[in-house]
Structure 1
Amino acid sequence: MLRQQDVGHRIVVRRIVGIREGRPQFSDALGELVELSETHLTLATAQGRLRVPRDEVHRAKRVPPTRRPTAAAVVALELAADEAWPAPVRGRLGDWRLRSAEGWTGRANSALPVGDPDRPLPDAVDALEAWYADLGRPAMVNTPLPLAAPVGAELDRRGWAAGPPVLVQTVALSALTAATPPGPPTAAGSAGPAAGSAGPAAGSPPVRLATTPSDDWLALAAGRKGGLPDAAWHVLTAVDRVRFAHVYADGALVAIGRGTVTGGGRWLGLSLLDVVPEARRRGLAGQVVHALADWATTTGATDAFLQVEQRNTPAVNLYRTLGFTTHHTYLTRHPHPSPTPHTSPASPASPASPASPASPC
């Protein structure tokens, strides 16, 4: 039967649709599981959303995606994501990346075991544990699946725990811009409200892109991410091509987002998308995404990615409407007891509302 870990993945459901001559009649449905509750499951099919009561489900299981990404494609995307969220303290074990950022976010404080560590696997895990111990930090490892399954098996043998599965999702930029509202004209290079500027007739404020975040932007991000230590500035800004989206209404910052272009110029990375509660459900999140996608397109980027915990159903649902599909997943592994970084790895992050869906970093 299905579990919460299957949300965001392709499944097939055989449901009971009636009884004929004392025998149950079945119908099959194939699609992406977008919600799983105690009473219903919902999947996105080629014909639209289908909500199936659990008592009508005869069988349900996850099935492989239509096209499984190659190992090289997973490595390339993981490296682009690493480039987009750069830890200030870094080390190497062969091809493996070791990262530390004063405990701020899981991704910037975990090892990325892709490629050859230049030594037997048990020795590699011993070495990364020693590297983090020398920094006085708990060891964590991000294991992209199924690529890093052997690493996961070694960590299982050592009794390491796992955080909730994270979906690494992608979409073509052309599809993303088509699926999001353009909003009023975007103002580039300005991080504050423009004096005398007025929004469109509908009253929707413009999205302003800046190369550095404003103090208001940082304050809103700090509230989401459990504070901003010194290392956070490096993680946020130490990327050659980065933009910080600001949306102001009546002089107050009501929505933010961050976009980076990495991976040889191919990938727009979306993170820290947030809308304040009183401004939600106005389409501002979509306008921020559209503005960042437009900017990335002008640089030559062709695709976008984000990371989101698969248990974050509202965000998964929103991203599905924007055309995102799951490329691969990863688990954040750690020895017991669980580390306590400044913020959970569940955020670039863990909104309860689809209007404020950041991804995990």
Structure 2
Amino acid sequence: MLRRQDVGHRVVVRRIVGVTPDRTLYTDALGELVDLTDTDLTIATAKGTLRVPLREVHRAKRVPPARRPPAAEVIALEFAANDAWPAPVQATLGNWILRAAENWTGRANSALAVGDPDRPLEAAIDAVVEWYSAHGQRPLINAPMPLAAPVNAALDTRGWGARPLTLVQTTRLAALTDRLAARPDLSPVELADTPGDDWLAMVAEHKGDLPAAAARILTAPPEVVFAQLRDADGDLLAVGRGAVTGPDRWLGVSLLQTAPHARRQGIAQHVLRGLAQWGAQHGASRVYLQVEERNTGAVALYGQVGFATHHTYLTREAPEG
């Protein structure tokens, strides 16, 4: 049977799905173990997240990982993503980064647990709790998997919860541009150095009210752009944001959103093409974005244009009280 130390690793689970007079019926599931409790286990498979009651598990074991990027590449991408979404309050704990931004977005308000925290793991978690408590916020830890599997295991023991699994997806910028066909039937994508009021309003509809920290996060990167698409009447149809950061010149795409009445018309891909062209002009060769695994529509859209999961992460949250 699997243990908490296996969270974040690739596993295979043989599940009992029925019993006939002649035999027991089984089905196998292969994926990444993202949660394990006293009653259930949850794995992220190629078809989606699957929760299995332990009473139905016949066998379960860890298996060799699929081809994964080197740990150093995961760390470099996570640091580039931090630079593209910089919390206004940051501190370091060895290589870990502690971040606070008035509770606006989980990424900007969680400790990035990559690298060496320069102290034993349990002491590092205690230090995270102390830092966030001093800032009046609930302690959160961003744990990339399987890189931070030991962190996840320690947090399981402490009873920390987990927010939905997030996929960090990447592709080559040139390949993305090739897949995104020009749309002469749509207006050109407008690119600006700062976000307009209606751009911010569309983002607020999805992300909630924007505190002062949000403006700092959105505009702080030296190379950042705000994309928008309007209809013939000047009404906003879609928005997106791009930032180029890191020594490897990653283009990070975020806040790609379409007005409800304009969805399923290829408009998001049109805005994405505009961001990709801007990224290429700023020396980027690869692009990444982050999407919750449960957002199947967005995952399907990104898959159609060549994005694949580079790694995943869990945002872990301390027990309340």
Report TM bin, short chain. 0.7 to 0.9
**What is the TM-score with the length of structure 2 in the denominator?**
0.80
Give the Cα–Cα distance (whole angstroms) in 2 for the partners of residues 305 and 163 of structure 1. Answer: 21
Asked whether the equivalents of residues 143 and 332 of structure 1 are also in contact (C-alpha less than 8 Å), the reply is: yes
Between the aligned residues of both structures, percent identity stands at: 57
Give the Cα–Cα distance (whole angstroms) in 1 for the partners of residues 75 and 50 of structure 2. Answer: 33
Q: Please, which of 237, 242, 261 is the counterpart of residue 224 of structure 2?
A: 242
- Describe the superposition over 1:225-261 as per-residue Cα deviations: whole angstroms up to 9, x where unpaired: 0110000001111001101001111111110000110
Asked whether the equivalents of residues 49 and 294 of structure 2 are also in contact (C-alpha less than 8 Å), the reply is: no
Asked whether the equivalents of residues 265 and 299 of structure 1 are also in contact (C-alpha less than 8 Å), the reply is: no
Q: Which runs of 4+ in 1 moved over 4 A?
A: 9-12, 34-38, 61-66
SS in 2 for 1:254: strand
How far did 1:321 drift?
0.4
Give the Cα–Cα distance (whole angstroms) in 1 for the partners of residues 187 and 212 of structure 2. Answer: 31
How far did 1:337 drift?
3.2
How far did 1:182 drift?
2.6
How far did 1:145 drift?
0.6
Gaps of 5+ in 1: 1-8, 13-29, 39-60, 184-199, 339-361
Structure 1 residues 10 and 286, CA gap change in structure 2 (3 angstroms): farther
SS in 2 for 1:268: strand
Q: Residue in 2 aligned with 1:263?
A: 246
2:90 maps to 1:78: no
Asked whether the equivalents of residues 267 and 302 of structure 1 are also in contact (C-alpha less than 8 Å), the reply is: yes
Q: Residue in 2 aligned with 1:57?
A: none
Q: Please, which of 321, 325, 332 is the counterpart of residue 315 of structure 2?
A: 332
Give the Cα–Cα distance (whole angstroms) in 2 for the partners of residues 223 and 262 of structure 1. Answer: 27
Q: Residue in 2 aligned with 1:209?
A: 191
- Describe the superposition over 1:139-173 as per-residue Cα deviations: whole angstroms up to 9, x where unpaired: 00000011111111111111111111111110000
SS in 1 for 2:191: strand
**What is the TM-score with the length of structure 1 in the denominator?**
0.72
Q: Residue in 2 aligned with 1:170?
A: 170
SS in 2 for 1:132: helix
Q: Residue in 2 aligned with 1:152?
A: 152
2:319 maps to 1:306: no
Gaps of 5+ in 2: 1-8, 13-29, 32-44, 52-60
Give the Cα–Cα distance (whole angstroms) in 1 for the partners of residues 50 and 154 of structure 2. Answer: 33
SS in 2 for 1:297: helix
Asked whether the equivalents of residues 143 and 151 of structure 1 are also in contact (C-alpha less than 8 Å), the reply is: yes
Asked whether the equivalents of residues 85 and 108 of structure 1 are also in contact (C-alpha less than 8 Å), the reply is: yes
Give the Cα–Cα distance (whole angstroms) in 2 for the partners of residues 237 and 277 of structure 1. Answer: 26
Q: Residue in 1 aligned with 2:161?
A: 161
How far did 1:115 drift?
1.2
- Aligned-residue CA RMSD in angstroms? 3.0
Structure 1 residues 64 and 181, CA gap change in structure 2 (3 angstroms): farther
| Letter paired with 2:260 | P
